[in-house]
Amino acid sequence: MRAKETADRIRSMEIRGAAEIARQAALALKDEALAYQGKDAAGLFHALDEARQTLVASRPTAISLWNGVQFVMKGNDRETDLDLLRTITVRRADEFVKRSKEALDIIARIGANRIPDGAKVLTHCNSKAAIGCLIAAHRQGKNIQVFATESRPWRQGILTVNDLAKAGVPTTLIIDSAVRHIMKDLDAVFVGADTIASNGAVINKIGTSQVALAADESRVPFYVCAETFKFSPKTMFGELVKIEERGSSEIVKPGEIPDSVKIFNPVFDATPPEYIDSIITELGVVPPYAAYEIIVKEFGQEYIFTE
Ligand code: RUB
């Protein structure tokens, strides 16, 4: 799928979830490289760069998307041979997808070890990384029960309970406002991440920080499952993570409320590091305060200044 179509499908939420949008963006750059009809490397680079900008603009606050396209484009501007530039772009896109899928498998195995037999675990929204851990624990033969929030307004919780039920995991769907009511009976919370800042704050689906607060109050361990491409090199250089706001039609139907009522629809929120027990990555279980070191190790500094 070419970049424009991929961007449209990301914007409309047909493609969603931080890891999936990054993988699809990388594959869109691959398809752009394969479809390029021009005769020189500079032209292909220009086409790829335009595609990169189109993709990044489709969900501008998603660092996974930015990291994914940066991974594919890294060093492309120095390549002067057209065939080589095409080959390198295709190879790097495939490598990003492969690494991201391997990371998911590793996170699932590591995360499952943190789930004791008999545990009741809560998850919020629809994170493939978090769900992977829950399914892996179930496959280890542990008798676990999962509680999944509905996650208004898009109701990604419906996807989650379908994923879990398909894997045979005993699952209960709850509305978002039931979280605090049931927290005292739970043993762990597993959520994903859209972005992790250099100070260890985790940006994830709106409501995640309330779940973390309730978990902290009941002393329930709160785990974040995230591939290293969810860490934001931009935050290391002082950029604040912008919280995406989406339209009012996601919340109310036309005519349902008076025009004078404003609607505020932030789709992510930030959970401070002090509410997070550990972040489960493909590099292992790390404290949120290790975010800075992960960013330096994975991205170095050269990434920061390419935008
Ligand atoms: C999805 C969401 C998920 C993260 C992590 O939000 O917040 O928890 O993206 O998901 P949206 P994953 O539905 O708005 O994209 O672990 O699958 O990358």
Domains and CATH numbers, the chain: 3-105 (1.20.120.420), 114-304 (3.40.50.10470)
Nearest CA to ligand 1 atom 16: 127
194 is catalytic: yes
Give the pLDDT of residue 89. Answer: 96
Spacing, Cα 18 to ligand 1 middle (Å)? 5
Nearest CA to ligand 1 atom 1: 17
Give the pLDDT of residue 76. Answer: 85
Q: What's the rounded Cα separation, in Å, for the pair 135 and 168?
A: 8
Give the pLDDT of residue 305. Answer: 46
User: Quick check: CB of 63 below 6 Å from ligand 1?
Assistant: no
Spacing, Cα 152 to ligand 1 middle (Å)? 13
Spacing, Cα 307 to ligand 1 middle (Å)? 24
Spacing, Cα 267 to ligand 1 middle (Å)? 10
Nearest CA to ligand 1 atom 10: 127
User: Quick check: CB of 111 below 6 Å from ligand 1?
Assistant: no
pLDDT tens across the length of the chain (307 residues): 999 999 999 999 999 999 999 999 999 999 999 999 999 999 999 999 999 999 999 998 889 999 999 999 988 888 889 999 999 999 999 999 999 999 999 999 999 999 999 999 999 999 999 999 999 999 999 999 999 999 999 999 999 999 999 999 999 999 999 999 999 999 999 999 999 999 999 999 999 999 999 999 999 999 999 999 999 999 988 888 899 999 999 999 999 999 999 999 999 999 999 999 999 999 999 999 999 999 999 988 655 544 4
Nearest CA to ligand 1 atom 15: 17
CB contact at 8 A, 134 and 164: yes
CB contact at 8 A, 256 and 201: no
Spacing, Cα 125 to ligand 1 middle (Å)? 7
Give the pLDDT of residue 221. Answer: 98
User: Quick check: CB of 132 below 6 Å from ligand 1?
Assistant: no
133 is catalytic: no
Best of 20, 126, 151, 163 for a ligand 1 pocket test (most atoms within 8 Å of beta carbon): 126
User: Quick check: CB of 123 below 6 Å from ligand 1?
Assistant: no
Spacing, Cα 81 to ligand 1 middle (Å)? 38
User: Quick check: CB of 204 below 6 Å from ligand 1?
Assistant: yes
User: Quick check: CB of 157 below 6 Å from ligand 1?
Assistant: no
Ligand 1: atom nearest CA of 59 is 15
Q: What's the rounded Cα separation, in Å, for the pair 12 and 151?
A: 17
**Which residues, in sequence order, are bridge partners of residue 121?**
146, 188
User: Quick check: CB of 30 below 6 Å from ligand 1?
Assistant: no
